[in-house]
Each structure stands twice: as C-alpha cells, then as structure tokens.
A and B are shown apart, each in its own frame.
Chain A
Amino acid sequence: MNENLLGFLEKLYDNSSEAIFFFNQEGKTLYMNEAAKSIMAADVYEQLLAGREGAICRICRGFTSEEEQRTCVACYMSDPAMEVSSFQVYFETEGRGMIPYSASIETIDEERGIRVFMLRDLTEQQRTQEELHQKLMLKRVIKAQEDERKRISRELHDSVAQEMLSSLVDLRVLKYMNLDEEAMKKLRQTEGSLMRLLDDIRHLSVELRPATLDDLGLEAAFRTHFKSIEKNYGIAVHFHPELESKRYDSEIETVVYRVCQEAVFNAVKYAGVDEIIVRLHEADGSLHLRVADDGVGFDVEDGTPIGTGLGHYGMRERADLVEGKLAIRSEPGKGTVVELAVPVEREDGR
C-alpha cells in the first residue's frame, strides 16, 4: 500500500464526521475515532476502550428491524458472522439526545476477525424524509377530501335534485286536473315546500364543492360563492376578477378557491366589517389572489388563535401543495390582507 493512501485513510479516520469503531473477534473495541468519541460520555468511552462487555449497549438504543422501530432482538453486534452493509440504529448521544444513524458493520480482516462499525448521522435526512412524507400524505388527504366532496356534490346535484325536480313536475301536472280551491291551495303549499327542498339540496351541493369550479372556472365559482355570502351574512364582497375567464390546472383552481373561501370566511367571522374586497389577477407568471378587509385585524405575531387556528394552517398547507406563497398581513385595528401567489405555467394556460 502506498504512502499516500495510508495518509488519506488516517485523515479519514481522524477528520470524518462519521463515527468509526474497530472491533476484534470478541466484540471488544480496539480503536475509535474522534467523531465516535464525541457522541458519548467520557465514562462510556473509558469502558469501551477498556473492552468492558456491553459497554456499547449503554448508549445504543436498538436498531430498526422489520418488526420494530427500535429493537435488540438479533443484534448485529452480537453475531460476529453478521455482515450488514446498511441498517438504521439509534444512539443516545452526549448532549444531543437520541439520534438515528445509518450504520454498517463489516469484517475487514478475515484472519483476525477484525470488524469495522461506522455510524452516519441521519437526523437531517430523516427530517427531510418525514417532511416529504407528511407533505405527500397531506396532499393525498386533501385530494381524497376534495374527491369525496366532488362525488357527493355531483350525486346530490345529478341524482337527488333531478329526482326531486321530476316529482315537482308531476305535482304541477295536478294543477290542470280541475281540483277545487281547497286542494289547489294545499297543492301550491306542497309545491312551495318541494321547491324549497330542491333549493336546499342545490345549496348543499354547491357548498360541498361548486360544480361551476370544474365546469366554468374560478371566476364563475367565486361569483356564486360571494352572492351566497352576501345573502347569508349580509356582507358585500366586491370582486375584481382580471382573468378574462382563463382556466388553470384543476389543482391550482381548487387551492385558490379554498384559500379564498377560508380568507373570506375569516373576514366574515372576525373582522366585523360589512364589505370585503377580493382581487384576482395574473402577473409575472403567477396567479394572485388578494382578500382584504378594513376590519378589526389581529396580531399576526400572537400565536394564540381566535378560532380553532386551523384556518391559517390549512391555507398555508394548501398553498404549499401548488408551490404557492401565502402572506397574511394584519394589525389590530388596521384590517387584514391575505395574499396568495401561485406560479402558473405559461404554456399550460389552457
């Protein structure tokens, strides 16, 4: 072996952030590097070097098997024949608490049974992975919820409402059958009740998920929604769409619709205003939504939410799904502005 490689190996051993241990046939620690030393308490280090049995177990918190997150069953350390190139193990480190490591254990000297055990910190990677996983799950949950809402909404609209409508038509036929005044009066009342019921079902369907969002796009869906806000809560929503009925990816439209719905609803509930301004426009390759009121406002920094606190969280999560940016600006007494910017590909602008 040439001089240089030895030097490099030595440097690797000394300077690597990976913890490197050398064990002999009996499982006693022969050497360990600085990185290994740094993760354990001084007394454990002493014990390990002294070759005390089970010293490593004092800081080891088990490895991940198919059955368990952390286990000692069939520990790789105890079986000298075991050759595992990669597994996950947890160590109780000095000062940093329990940390997940990617570990490998290999025999590097058959004759003397020398094995090397290496640990690579996985904290960062695991966090990234968890975040990715969570995002993915959330995306699926939101999609499942939207799909389910869409299904029920369609069912109500296409099936239940249709049936009801045909009953209503049947009922109207009765009007031409020479009924006496008393029966006619009753008939008109029943007709009224049925019509009201039909309206209720349609409202329910729109509330779940407006079919107009899929069929006609954001502008039409917003118009209907704001009209119902005005009717139900006596609050006027001034809507300024500047999109010329342009359509976007269904996922983007859904996010923009839901975020706007939430922002407007928050204003209805908490702002104490009777006017809300909503602007929708496209600029710099992004779709911009702006919901503004000049109501009571709130302290953005204050962590304690007025409502469930899920509203803002939900808006952010939804915005995240389409790489959108959400900004909430507010101050007590100075109103609230919610802005969402979602990048939209130019070439996809159907």
Chain B
Amino acid sequence: MEDRITFNFQREIERLRSLCGADYVALATVQPAERRFELKWTHVAGNLTDRHRRIKLQSGKGVAGLVFKTGKALFVADAEMELGKENLYQYPITVAEKLVSFGAIPLYKYNRVGGVLLIGSRKKDGLTEEHFREFRDHVGTEFGPFYSKEMVKE
C-alpha cells in the first residue's frame, strides 16, 4: 500500500474501467518474499463479490498466474468456449466475477512480471480484441512503478 502515496492504483484502475466502459478491472501484484510471492488481486473495480480477496495464486495458476508465468498477454473472447466449461473453476476470478470475455496483460518491474492487469466483461463478446487493444493503449507503457514491456519499442 505504500505505493499509494506516489501512484494511486485504485484511482487508476477505476479510471481505466470508465475509459473502456468495462464491467471489471483488477490488478494483481506479486507479494513480497515473506508472503511467498503469491499473486493477489490487490485492487479491483466493478466487483460483484469480495471473493477476490481470498484468492492467492501460485505461478501458473489462474488468470494472473498464467500471465505471470508466461509474461504474455492473454485474451479470451468466450471463457466457456475457449477454456472449457469443465476447466473454468481453474480461473477463479472469472467464476467469482462471472466474467465471460476478458483480457490480461503483464506489468513488468526490473525485467520481471510484478503485476497483472485484468479487464473483463460479463457479456459474451463484451470485450472484443479491439477493445482489448484500446485498453492496452490506455494503460500505456508505464503504470505506476511498472512498465508494460510489449509497448516498449526496441
């Protein structure tokens, strides 16, 4: 939370949510070593429940864990179709918030993924690839202490 002094994450994701007209925007950050580097949804906007607070993900698990591990953006236009109804439970944030289409991008810090930014819609095709691109443009290359690597021109 000390980041809040220099950069207000909550205000930023709420700004992103209204800018993109999205149902849900959330930020997961990697917890420090004493919290075993778990991924937690630290800031959310447009949430239905507080279930996100219970979620503490390992690398490779869930939406945040997947993006964290691969370091690549993830876009899903139709969760049930693409991830399979049977496997949805492995992406708890989508179940808790009833997200149907969503996208997530890695946020870097010192060349490592330090956070994951998620945008989602509760409607099918509520978030299109075009919307997702706009969202990434809004996020820009810098997000507080993080930077979005793929935006950086080599």
Contacts and interface: CB of A to CB of B under 8 A. Distances in A.
Interface of A: 185, 189, 191-192, 195-196, 199-200, 203, 230-236, 268-269, 272, 274, 307
A234 B59 contact: no
B92 A200 contact: no
B19 interface: no
Given A189-B110, A189-B112, A274-B51, A232 B61 contact: yes
B57 interface: yes
B59 A200 contact: yes
B90 to A, nearest CB: 8
Nearest to B91: A233
Considering the complex of A and B, which 6 residue pairs feature the smallest CB-CB distances, nearest first?
A234-B55, A231-B56, A234-B92, A234-B54, A234-B51, A233-B92
A196 B51 contact: no
Contacts of B53: 234
Nearest to B52: A234
A269 B86 CA distance: 8
B54 A235 contact: yes
Nearest to A229: B54
Contacts of A230: 54
Contacts of A269: 86, 89
Contacts of B112: 189
Interface of B: 33, 36-38, 49, 51-62, 86, 89, 92-93, 95-96, 110, 112
A236 B33 CA distance: 24
A268 B112 CA distance: 32
A172 to B, nearest CB: 12
A15 B77 CA distance: 75
Contacts of B110: 185, 189
27 contacts: A192-B33, A196-B36, A199-B36, A199-B37, A199-B58, A200-B58, A200-B60, A231-B54, A231-B57, A231-B58, A232-B55, A232-B58, A232-B61, A233-B95, A234-B51, A234-B52, A234-B92, A234-B93, A234-B96, A236-B54, A269-B86, A269-B89, A272-B95, A274-B49, A274-B51, A274-B54, A307-B86
A214 B33 CA distance: 29
Contacts of B92: 232-235
Task: Give the one of A232, A268, A272, A307 with max B CB within 10 A.
Answer: A232
A195 B35 CA distance: 11
Contacts of A274: 49, 51, 54, 96
Contacts of A272: 95
A196 B38 CA distance: 9
B99 to A, nearest CB: 13
Contacts of B36: 195-196, 199
Given A236-B54, A272-B95, 16 more contacts: A185-B110, A189-B110, A192-B33, A195-B37, A196-B59, A230-B54, A231-B38, A231-B54, A232-B55, A232-B61, A233-B92, A234-B92, A234-B95, A269-B86, A274-B49, A274-B54
A71 B154 CA distance: 78
Contact of A231 (B55, B60, B95, B96): B55
A189 to B, nearest CB: 6
A195 B31 CA distance: 13
Contacts of A195: 33, 36-37
Nearest to A230: B54
B69 to A, nearest CB: 10
A110 B15 CA distance: 106
